């Protein structure tokens, strides 16, 4: 491929933030409701709907809908709700509250990988893990997130071949249990991207848990849309104030937010994308959708003010008050960038 012809393109898959009254009704693969309790519905004759308990009395519920394709099939399989359109697969799952999550997480992820293989969508490109009581110690001495990460890592290691770890978010919720969303593709090329300012998460030292987190900092998915052009998606994982593998500026929200935004800019810079075989050059001004997770509600207004000056006028930003995956982290941000077109080489 050549980057001589790069521009926006109508995405064959895209996400929309909305409230309940103006949610899209056509061509919906699946939805996530940021609400008040964990629940999974749909999957037989309607889109899967995962509700995650991330709102409170001050924040309004909202929906994230993934839309694309016309011939969508919905189904239920082995406690998973899914939707497929011939090119993309959306999977939703839940884990009940427990005093131990590693075995349940491994089992759930192995079911997901089995369904991905069975239906023929081998290219994982985005995962979300919404984790209740994420920092709570369990009887084993591990925090919930560390125990969950252990089971997830075992599933990746046992999935056959070299583990392919896509962009992902592991974030706290305000309720019980765990919700999981997986997006995968039938065709195309995935490029998993790391950040020059950060150590790959899957190489973190043992002090963060018995198994390191299983994700890439971002994933670019490129698909052919006609004989001469391809479309590239860019999905950025939850990103925090981590340099190398260390959390920086503990207790200082302002500096953590600044470092987080700088990490994002470094990740999507053109030279870094090119290094990992992806296309384009982005800044936060180009962001399409952004979710900002803030540990303390009192910091949300500062985040709004600072982020307003870093993103574009068309960037849709949602702010959510939940715990981050380390005790000392105060903010985490994930981003979806617009789909771009790239001319194929002749």
Beta strands at 6-8 and 331-343: parallel, antiparallel or unpaired: antiparallel
Phi, psi for residue 326 in degrees, rounded to 5: -125, 145
Confirm if 331 and 294 have CB atoms less than 8 A apart: yes
Tokens for 267, please give them. Answer: 């990740």
Residue in the structure block whose two tokens are 């939850």? 238
Catalytic residue among 64, 84, 106, 332: 332
Q: Decide: helix, strand or coil at residue 276.
A: coil
Instruction: Kindly state the DSSP code that residue 284 receives in the 8-state scheme.
Output: G
Give the orientation angle of helix 102-119 with respect to helix 144-157, to 10 degrees.
40
Query: Is 97 known to be catalytic?
Result: no
Residue in the structure block whose two tokens are 């509250």? 97
Tell me how many helices (H) and strands (E) the chain has.
Answer: 5, 20
Tokens for 50, please give them. Answer: 């995962």
Residue in the structure block whose two tokens are 């593709």? 185
Q: Decide: helix, strand or coil at residue 346.
A: coil
Instruction: Kindly state the DSSP code that residue 328 receives in the 8-state scheme.
Output: T
Nearest residue to 201 (alpha-carbon basis) of 116, 303, 326 = 326
Confirm if 220 and 337 have CB atoms less than 8 A apart: no
Instruction: Catalogue the active-site residues.
Output: 332
């Amino acid at each position: 491929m050549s980057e001589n012809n790069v521009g926006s393109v109508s995405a064959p898959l895209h996400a929309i933030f909305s409230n309940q009254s103006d949610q899209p009704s056509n061509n919906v693969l699946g939805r996530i409701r940021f609400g008040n309790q964990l629940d999974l519905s749909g999957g037989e004759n309607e889109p899967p709907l995962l509700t995650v308990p991330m709102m409170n009395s001050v924040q309004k519920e909202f929906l994230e809908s993934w839309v694309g394709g016309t011939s969508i099939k919905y189904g239920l399989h082995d406690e998973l709700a899914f939707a497929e359109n011939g090119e993309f697969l959306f999977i939703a799952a839940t884990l009940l509250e427990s005093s131990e999550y590693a075995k349940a997480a491994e089992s759930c992820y192995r079911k997901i990988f089995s369904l991905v293989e069975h239906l023929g969508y081998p290219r994982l490109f985005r995962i979300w893990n919404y984790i209740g009581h994420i920092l709570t110690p369990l009887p084993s001495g591990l925090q919930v997130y560390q125990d969950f990460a252990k089971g997830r890592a075992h599933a990746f290691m046992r999935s056959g071949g070299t583990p392919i770890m896509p962009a992902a978010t592991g974030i706290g919720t305000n309720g019980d249990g765990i919700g999981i969303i997986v997006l995968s593709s039938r065709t195309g090329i995935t490029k998993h991207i790391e950040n020059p300012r950060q150590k790959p998460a899957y190489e973190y030292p043992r002090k963060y848990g018995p198994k390191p987190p299983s994700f890439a900092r971002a994933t670019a998915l490129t698909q052919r849309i006609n004989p001469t052009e391809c479309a590239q998606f860019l999905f950025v994982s939850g990103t925090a104030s981590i340099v190398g593998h260390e959390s920086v500026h503990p207790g200082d929200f302002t500096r953590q937010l600044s470092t987080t935004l700088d990490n994002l800019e470094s990740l999507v810079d053109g030279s870094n994308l090119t290094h990992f075989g992806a296309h384009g050059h982005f800044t936060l001004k180009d962001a399409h959708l952004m979710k900002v997770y803030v540990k303390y509600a009192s910091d949300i207004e500062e985040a709004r003010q600072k982020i307003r000056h870093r993103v574009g006028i068309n960037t849709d930003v949602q702010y959510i008050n939940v715990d981050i995956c380390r005790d000392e982290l105060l903010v985490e941000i994930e981003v979806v960038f617009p789909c771009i077109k790239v001319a194929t080489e002749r």
